[in-house]
Amino acid sequence: MRMYDIIAKKRHGCKLNDEEIAFFVRGYTDGSIPDYQASALLMAVCCNGMDEEECTSLTYHMMHSGDTLDLSSLRNTVDKHSTGGVGDMTSLVVTPTLAALGLNVAKMSGRGLGHTGGTVDKLESIPGFNTSLSMEAFLDQVREIGIAVIGQTADLAPADKKMYALRDVTATIDAVPLIASSIMSKKLAAGAESILLDVKYGSGAFMKTKENAAELAELMVKLGKNAGRNMGALVTSMEYPLGRKIGNSLEILEAVDILRDGERSDARYVSSELASHLYSVATGTGIDESRKLVNETIDSGRTYEKFLQWIGAQGGDPEAVDKRQLPLSPHRFELRSPVDGYIGSADTEGLGMASCILGAGRTTKEDVPDLGAGYILHVSLGQRVSHGDLLATLYTSDVMKMAPACNEILASLHITDEKPGKLPDLIYKFIH
């Protein structure tokens, strides 16, 4: 079998068989297939697509290109994945809620890159929190308290790591079959029985329209079901930051607002819906009953108790979280509105980049984030503002970053003379 023939076949729009896809994944992972040939095939896929059978094969072989996590010693294991957003701290609410309801959350999470945040960075803003548990300690903790979250290992789906790096520099990132196989190869390798996907759309998401996000969600749900997993997906809006606290320690504090203080917000609503749908997918419970159980668990304080227990189990300081004694960067600035008007719309990607400019994120994988940097957004879509009203409170360790971050926020918040019409729905649809 020759890679040349596989490239030519897909370039002509023909379907690849399982053997050909396995040959490509194996060869690219072990280095016997060079970047230039892999790039040619990825571009052919980008132009001509893949059907469900091809995507299933690609996902399976990427999943098995390295280690897979064996969770068979645990029952009722669940995982939740977001395609990335701004102020998206839902995992901090969803996972302890499900653990408090008796499910097992054995989750590998990523770090932030670009305008999107990462759960691992947020957790590491808690003094002492350890996201590098051994596999034995990881599984033992899940058995003991029902939840553990660690960083993704390098040996999980290594084909995806190589392929993603190549896609990033060859303009082949946005092919739905490649996105779906990339995400699902990692999720399936992580081993959970039941998986819920939070697929974002809008100005702060990779998929800009709800229709394209739904297409991606439907394909990923099919891939998971083809692998024997219980699957569901919510298509949710990222036309505006979900939470109002944007940054690592700030997003931990927003979770405390919801879990301890009972804050009702967009972040609370979407988090509870994600938890409800995942509980329903995992247990077969109807969605109305699942919603009731989830909201009772959050409102009763049981989720917050589990949250603090989880923090302590992984070496973090629960008291520091409860007393809100988390690191905030020393330089603080209040950004005020230069005009009268309404918050008509936003460039949410720009709002995420403002947090990166302050130091909270990464522009390359090697960057070390300032865990106390970020900002609090004080306005919502559709809100009336007057000249001098507080728009955001910014935190950074480098005062020279303050002005460019303020400029980015002002450029990204579109203040209009007329009140906007219907605001985007936070949740577009559920796919299962």
Q: Which residues are catalytic?
A: 81, 160, 167, 182, 186
Residue with tokens 């553990």: 148
Nearest to residue 200, comparing CAs of 46, 355, 426? 426
DSSP calls for 344-367: EEE-HHHHHHHHHHHTSS-SSTT-
Q: What angle, 0 to 180 degrees and rounded to 10, lies between the N-to-C axes of helices 3-11 and 18-30?
A: 120
Residue 82's beta-bridge partner residues?
A: 198
Which letter does DSSP use for residue 116 in this model?
B
108's enclosing H/E stretch is strand 104-109
DSSP calls for 223-262: HHHHTT-EEEEEEEE-SS-SSSEEEHHHHHHHHHHHHTT-
Question: Is there a contact between 413 and 398 (Cβ–Cβ < 8 Å)?
Answer: no
Question: Is there a contact between 274 and 242 (Cβ–Cβ < 8 Å)?
Answer: no
Q: Where are the beta strands (DSSP E) in 293-377?
A: 331-336, 341-346, 374-377
Residues 6+ apart with CB under 8 A from 322: 256, 260, 308
Question: Is there a contact between 379 and 231 (Cβ–Cβ < 8 Å)?
Answer: no
Q: How far is CA 47 from CA 42, 175, 400, in A?
A: 9, 8, 44
Nearest to residue 146, comparing CAs of 313, 382, 260? 313
Q: Where are the beta strands (DSSP E) in 116-248?
A: 147-151, 194-201, 230-237, 245-247
Nearest to residue 190, comparing CAs of 157, 143, 233? 157
